[in-house]
Amino acid sequence: MSIMQAIRTFFFYLLLGTSSLMWCTLSFFIAPFLPFRMRYRFINVYWCRCALWLTRVFLNIHVEVKGQENVPQQPCVILSNHQSTWETFFLSAHFEPLSQVLKRELLYVPFFGWAMA
């Protein structure tokens, strides 16, 4: 990894952590007063889009979705290969509404797990 990549990665994680702390705090005060659909979008979808924006700007990760026309409009199961954390952000931002199946232990992770719980 080059020095420039290390700097970009450092700033990405710094901003991701800061944004998650700010979003969590803001959500704590705002979300209880929102209807369910808006609360879901505010807590889950918008923050995941923010995280994807950070990956695009700082890490130069661009995505091209192929086969979107094959995803049915009715509820369905989306399986991912779980190769990285990035796909968790992408799936939450791209498919709405989304329900995830996860290990119980993940609910104990500070902020991220607590928000999912």
Residue ranges per structural domain of the chain: 3-63+75-116
Q: What is the pTM of this model?
A: 0.76
User: What parts of the chain have a pLDDT lower than 70?
Assistant: none
Q: What is the pLDDT of residue 68?
A: 87
Q: What is the pLDDT of residue 109?
A: 86
> Which sign does the torsion angle of CA 12, 15, 20, 21 carry?
positive
CB 99 within 8 A of CB 77: no
Q: What is the pLDDT of residue 54?
A: 93
Instruction: Calculate the alpha carbon distances from 79 to 71, 86, 97, 106 in Å.
Output: 12, 14, 15, 18
Q: What is the pLDDT of residue 14?
A: 95
In degrees, rounded to 5, the angle at the alpha carbon of residue 69 between the alpha carbons of residues 57 and 46 is 35
* Pair of tokens at residue 35: 């209807």
